Amino acid sequence: MRRDGLKVAVAGATGAVGNAMLSILEERNFPVGQLVPLASERSEGRKLVFKGQEVTVRKLSEDSFQGIDLALFSAGASRSEVFAPVAVSAGAVVVDNSSAFRMKPEVPLVVPEVNPQAIKRHQGLIANPNCSTIQMVVALKPLHDAARIKRVVVSTYQSVSGAGLRAIEELRLQTHALLNGQTEVAKSVFPHQIAFNCLPHIDAFLENGYTKEEMKMILETKKIMEDESIAVSATTVRVPVFYAHSESVNIETERKLGAAEAKEILAKAPGIILVDDPINKHYPLAIHCAGKDPVFIGRVREDPSIENGLNLWIVADNLRKGAALNAIQIAELLIR
Ligand code: 25A
Ligand code: L14
C-alpha cells in the first residue's frame, strides 16, 4: 500500500464508530489524501467535516471502491459481508470492524499491542476484534507473557454506544421520560428498558445459552493471544452508561503473580494506564475514560480463593480503543 496521500473510504461514516474514525484519522495525522465517507441512502448527500473541509456522504455501493487504497468498515456485519469483498477486489486493503470475518482462519484478527505480527499474512482484509475483547487482551497479554494465563472469568458492564447512535438516543429518551414521571418507555434497539437497568443480553442468544457477544470474547481471545489453551468464561451485560465499557476480570495463572508484580508489569505495558490508588479513591471510571485512548486498569488484587489468582478492573472507550482507534492503529501498521 502507498504510504502517503492515501484515498481512504469509511463505510458507516455517519455512525458512532465511523464518526470516531474521522476524528481519529485527523488527530493522528494519518496520511489521508482524499476521504470518501460512505453510508446508507438515508445519509446520502449529508455533509461531514474532515480536516476543516466539507465532505459529502455517498451511498455505499458496488462502485464505491475504485481507486481506494484503504477501506475502514463499520456499518454492521451484513454490509461488510457484501461490500468488503468488493473493496478487496477493487484493490483496497480493508480493515473491518464487524464480526463478519473475525474467526475466518485466513483473516488476521489484530490488536497492535498484542499480535502485530499477525498482520503480515493478510490477503487484503484484516479484522478488528470485538470491543470488549480488545480492552481485555491488552491487559492479559503482558500478564500471560509473565506467568501464563490458564483461565479467565470476565463480567462486562457495557455502554450503550456499542450498539450505535440510535441506542445512545434510546437511553437518553428513556432516562428523560422516566425522570419526568412517565412509567412506560418506548424501546426499539434494546430488548428491555435500559434506563436505570442492567441487561444480561448483548447481541443474539445461541443454543448453548450464551450470547454471541460472550462467545466472541471466548473465541477471539484465543485467536488474538495465539493460545487455544486459555479458558475463558464470559457474562456480558449492558448498563445505562453512554460511553466506555468496564470489565471485572478474574485470572488464574500457572506461575504465581503477586499484586505488586502484576501492577509493575501492567504499568510498563504498551497502551495501558494503571490507575490503582484505592485509598485515595483512584480507580478507572467510565466517565473519565470516555474520549481517551488507553486501556485503564485498577483494583489489581490477589484472589485468595485460588492458588494463583488475580482480580482486575479494566475500562476503555469502546468507540476508540474498542473500535475506531484500534482499526486506525492497524492501518498505521500497514503503512509502516
Ligand atoms: O447491522 P448490524 O450488524 O446489526 O449492526 C449495525 C449496528 O451496529 C452498530 C451500528 O451503529 C448499527 O446500529 N455497529 C456496527 N458495527 C459496530 C461496531 N464495530 C457498531 N457499533 C459499535 N461497534 P450506528 O448506527 O452508529 O452506525 C451505523 C452506520 O452504518 C451505516 N449503515 C447502516 N446501514 C447501511 C449503512 N451504510 C450503508 N448501507 C447500509 N445499508 C449507517 O449509515 C451508519 O453510518 P446510515 O446512513 O444508515 O445512518 C445514518 C443515521 O441513521 C440512523 N439509523 C441507523 N439505522 C437506522 C437508522 N435510522 C432509522 N432506521 C434504521 N434502521 C443512524 O443512527 C444514523 O444517525
Ligand atoms: O461485534 O452491541 O463488534 O455493544 C460491537 C458492539 C457487537 C455488538 C461487535 C454492542 C459489536 C456490540
Domains of the chain by residue range: 6-129+323-335, 133-318
Predicted TM-score (pTM) above 0.85: yes
**Cell numbers that stand for 291 in this block:** 474520549
Identify whether the C-beta of residue 292 lies closer than 8 Å to the C-beta of residue 248: no
Q: Which atom of ligand 1 is nearest to the CA of 60?
A: 38
Reading the chain (336 residues) residue by residue, the pLDDT tens digits are 888 899 999 999 999 999 999 999 999 999 999 999 999 999 999 999 999 999 999 999 999 999 999 999 999 999 999 999 999 999 999 999 999 999 999 999 999 999 999 999 999 999 999 999 999 999 999 999 999 999 999 999 999 999 999 999 999 999 999 999 999 999 999 999 999 999 999 999 999 999 999 999 999 999 999 999 999 999 999 999 999 999 999 999 999 999 999 999 999 999 999 999 999 999 999 999 999 999 999 999 999 999 999 999 999 999 999 999 999 999 999 999
Domain with residues 6-129+323-335, CATH architecture: 3-Layer(aba) Sandwich (3.40)
Is the minimum distance from the CB of 109 to ligand 2 under 6 angstroms? no
Which residue is catalytic, options 122, 131, 144, 289? 131
Instruction: Report which ligand 2 atom has the smallest distance to the Cα of 202.
Output: 2
Backbone angles phi, psi at 27, to 5 degrees: -55, -45
The grid coordinates of residue 215 equal 462467545
Options 3.30.360.10, 1.20.1250.20, 3.90.226.10, 3.30.1740.10; which CATH number does 133-318 get? 3.30.360.10
- d(CA 120, CA 284) in angstroms, rounded, equals 34
Write the CA distances from 237 to 33, 103, 225, integer angstroms.
40, 23, 23
> Looking at ligand 2, which residue's alpha carbon is closest to its atom 3?
130
Q: Is 190 helix (H, G, I), strand (E, B) or coil?
A: coil
Q: At CB < 8 A and 24+ separation, what contacts does 43-48 make?
A: 43/13, 43/14, 46/14, 48/13, 48/14, 48/22
- The pick from 42, 58, 161, 169 for probing ligand 1's pocket by mutation, whose C-beta has the most ligand atoms within 8 angstroms, reads 42
**C-alpha 290 – ligand 1 centre gap (Å):** 21
Kindly state if the Cβ of 12 falls inside 6 Å of ligand 2. no
